[in-house]
Amino acid sequence: MDLKAILMGVGFALAWASAFTTTRMIVLAAPPLTALVIRFALSALVAIPLARAMGESWRLGRAEWRTVVIFGMCQNALYLGLNWVAMQHVEASAAAIIASMMPLLVALLGWLVLGERLRPMAVAGLVAGILGVGLIMGVRLRHGLDIPGLVLCLIGVVALTLATLAARGAGGSRNMMMIVGLQMAVGALALLLPAAAMEWSRPVHWSPGLVGAFLYTVLVPGIGATWLWFLLVNRVGAVRAATFHFLSPIFGVVIAAVLLGERFGAADVLGAAVVAAGILMVQLARLPAGGPAQPSKSRAHAIDGRD
Q: Is residue 267 part of a domain?
A: yes
**Per-range mean pLDDT, top range of 43-52, 103-112, 237-246:** 43-52
Q: Is residue 214 part of a domain?
A: yes
Average pLDDT, the chain: 85
Q: Among 93-102, 104-113, 148-157, where is mean pLDDT lowest?
A: 104-113
| Confidence at residue 285, expressed as pLDDT on a 0 to 100 scale | 87
| Confidence at residue 87, expressed as pLDDT on a 0 to 100 scale | 94
| Confidence at residue 283, expressed as pLDDT on a 0 to 100 scale | 83
| Confidence at residue 304, expressed as pLDDT on a 0 to 100 scale | 41
| Confidence at residue 307, expressed as pLDDT on a 0 to 100 scale | 42
Q: Is residue 213 part of a domain?
A: yes
Say if CB 47 and CB 161 are below 8 A apart. Answer: no
User: Quick one: average pLDDT of 43-53?
Assistant: 90
Q: Domain range for residue 264?
A: 3-285
Q: Is residue 144 part of a domain?
A: yes
Interval 109-153: pLDDT, tens? 888 887 888 889 999 999 999 999 999 999 888 888 899 999 999
DSSP 304: T
Which residues, 6+ apart, have CB-to-CB distance to 238 below 8 Å?
A: 171, 296, 300, 301, 302, 303, 304, 305
pLDDT at residue 92 greater than cutoff 50: yes
pLDDT at residue 188 greater than cutoff 90: yes
pLDDT at residue 277 greater than cutoff 80: yes
Q: Is residue 305 part of a domain?
A: no
User: Quick one: average pLDDT of 51-61?
Assistant: 87
Q: Is residue 216 part of a domain?
A: yes
Give Cα separations from 8 to 14, 188, 294 (angstroms).
Answer: 10, 29, 16
Q: Is residue 297 part of a domain?
A: no
Nearest to 139 by CA among 13, 247, 17, 274: 274
CB count in 10 Å sphere of residue 116: 15
Q: Is residue 290 part of a domain?
A: no
Task: Name the pLDDT band for 88 (thresholds 50, 70, 90).
Answer: very high
Domains contained in the chain, number: 1
